[in-house]
Amino acid sequence: MEKMINIYLYGKKYEVPASLTIMGAMEYAGYQLVRGVGCRCGFCGACATIYRIKGQTELKTCLACQTQVEDNMYVATLPFFPLVKKVYDIEKVSPTEQIMMQLYPEIYACVGCNACTKACTQGLNVMQYIAYAQRGEYEKCAEESFDCVMCGVCSARCPAGITHPQVGLLARRLTGKYLAPETKHLLDRVAEIGRGDCEAALADIMSKTAEELKEMYNNRTFEK
């Protein structure tokens, strides 16, 4: 028989298989997941979770779809964290240091506690990309924050109230719009799609099974 362990979901004890993820264990325990669940593959950031192991003092953060359960794990999910998002028109802003001061001035109140980096479910150096944003180094900020899944756990732990994911997103948008070199082959492909040149290829892809798609992905050709 598979090894069973004890976990606590919202304070209630359940016995679940040790091989499950937190998300799988919640469903095994009978929870119907209608919030705090999305792609199930670690990309969407919807299943941000906090947990603590009995007898330990450290409060840990993770994505429920990617983290295996542990014995005596106390779990609470964060189905939504209210990140502050400022409204702006990317066509009317420019990659200057002033734009961060106007939209996200709280980044200059960073106390350097590094709680954001420690909490990041993706292991990103969050405090570092905020430092890049403070200095107007948007290309570096974009690169450092590229794998952010917008789960909001870093902001939940920040004493300065910084909205780190939105800062990183603005830096990536500014970089893509104004700083990164133009990619002619991408513009050509967009034009091809607009003309309908790719309809047959898209139809062929849509007709394939999940296993065939995985095979195509794993054996794709990388452009140099």
Element spanning 182, H or E: none
Over residues 102-123, the mean pLDDT reads 95
| Domains of the chain, first to last | 4-77 (3.10.20.740), 97-179 (no CATH), 184-218 (no CATH)
User: pTM for this structure?
Assistant: 0.78
Over residues 205-216, the mean pLDDT reads 93
Rounded to the nearest 10 degrees, what angle do helices 164-174 and 126-134 cross at?
60
Over residues 175-185, the mean pLDDT reads 92
Over residues 132-158, the mean pLDDT reads 95
In the sheet that 60-63 helps form, which strands lie side by side, from edge to edge?
Answer: 12-17, 4-9, 73-77, 48-53, 60-63
Provide the pLDDT for residue 224.
66
Non-local (6+) Cβ contacts of 55 within 8 A are: 72
Q: Which of 31, 26, 32, 25 is nearest to 4 (CA)?
A: 25
